[in-house]
Amino acid sequence: MPLSPLPLNALLFLLIRSNPALFSGRSPLLTHAAAATHSAAASQVWPVPALESSSSSSSSMPAVPSEIEELNALNKRLLQAITDGDWETYKQLCDPSLTCFEPESKGYLVEGLDFHKYYFNLTAAKKTTSVGKEVDASAPAKVTVTNLKIRLLGNETAVVTYNRLMQVMRQGSPETVATEETRVWHKMGDGKKEWKNIHFHRSFPS
């Protein structure tokens, strides 16, 4: 199932946020664009098969960068925190100024964590799941991630795309809720920088 593209305003927002010099007088636009083109040519997209076979002895498979393995683990941890309603872990993995477009935001760009904490509180109260639909809280949800791809954009930014399938029970019947997601991770902090989720776009399949 193909992923829905990010809206143009979201792409522009991420460009400005990740590369403010691109839109300032400190860096010539053409010079920056040429460098970006060179970087893009050297970049690679790492799909799930490459990640799963990274420990294989096959010489035909390029070594998976440690950053890719780390991002894969962090993204899994983030999704598990959402499923479990683990607010502390979610808050730890996200930047306080996290931005998003998702069905619950009704097309508006949301900034900050307060919007998301509301849904975590509902999950803790066993009234809803991370996708905002009432389910049988006695049956744990099962999450499957498909079509996972990770692209490094330079040394400090990465884009992770995937489909998330959540199996839940509603009124005694099993149901699968599917979403298409893009998450942008960025290395942040003083001294030793850590990956933080700075933006995501989530939508239901059309």
CATH code for the domain of 95: 3.10.450.50
Asked if the structure places residue 1 within a domain, the reply is no
The verdict on residue 3 lying in a domain is no
Domain span at 150: 8-54+63-203
Instruction: Let me know if residue 185 belongs to a domain.
Output: yes
Number of domains in the chain: 1
Pairing of strands 157-170, 142-152: antiparallel
Q: What pLDDT score was predicted for residue 166?
A: 93
Token representation of residue 119:
């849904």
In a domain, 19, yes or no: yes
- The pLDDT value given to residue 37: 36
DSSP bridge pairs for 194: 188
pLDDT of residue 127: 59
Question: Residue 81: exposed, middle, or buried by beta-carbon count in 10 A (0-12, 13-18, 19+)?
Answer: buried
Q: Does 88 reside within a domain?
A: yes
Q: Phi first, then psi: what are they for 183, rounded to 5°?
A: -125, 135
- Does some domain include residue 72? yes
pLDDT in tens, the chain (206 residues): 544 555 545 554 555 565 544 444 443 333 333 344 344 434 578 776 656 554 444 556 567 789 999 999 999 999 999 999 999 999 999 999 999 999 999 999 999 999 999 999 987 776 555 555 565 665 778 999 999 999 999 999 999 999 999 998 888 889 999 999 999 999 999 889 999 999 999 999 98
Inside any domain, residue 158? yes
Residue 32 counted as domain residue: yes
